[in-house]
């Protein structure tokens, strides 16, 4: 099973907006081999954003309820 972090968007509902860029290749959606990997990536993202708020780089932290982890075959 493949896992992804989805973001709740106003126009399209739940969408995987996370991408990976590798040198010489087109951007690809970021996916994870396990639920735990996706969960850890989301936790790091939320923590990094909170740190950015504390540093004054962002005005508001992301709302965790606007993210979810889903799996598909």
- pTM equals 0.89
CA 20 to chain CA centroid, nearest Å: 11
Contact of 39 with 69, CB cutoff 8 Å: yes
Q: Write out the chain's pLDDT in tens, 73 residues.
A: 999 999 999 999 999 999 999 999 999 999 999 999 999 999 999 999 999 999 999 999 999 999 999 999 9
Q: What gap in Å lies between CA 54 and CA 49, rounded to an integer?
A: 9
pLDDT 10s digits, 53-66: 999 999 999 999 99
Burial 49-60 (b: 16+ CB within 10 A, else e): beeeeeeeeeee
């Amino acid at each position: 099973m493949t896992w992804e972090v989805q973001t709740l968007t106003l126009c399209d509902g739940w969408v995987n907006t996370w991408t990976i860029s590798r040198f010489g290749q087109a951007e690809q959606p970021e996916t994870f081999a396990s639920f735990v990997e996706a969960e850890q990536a989301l936790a790091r993202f939320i923590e990094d954003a909170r740190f950015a708020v504390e540093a004054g780089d962002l005005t508001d932290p992301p709302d965790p309820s606007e993210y979810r982890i889903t799996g598909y075959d």
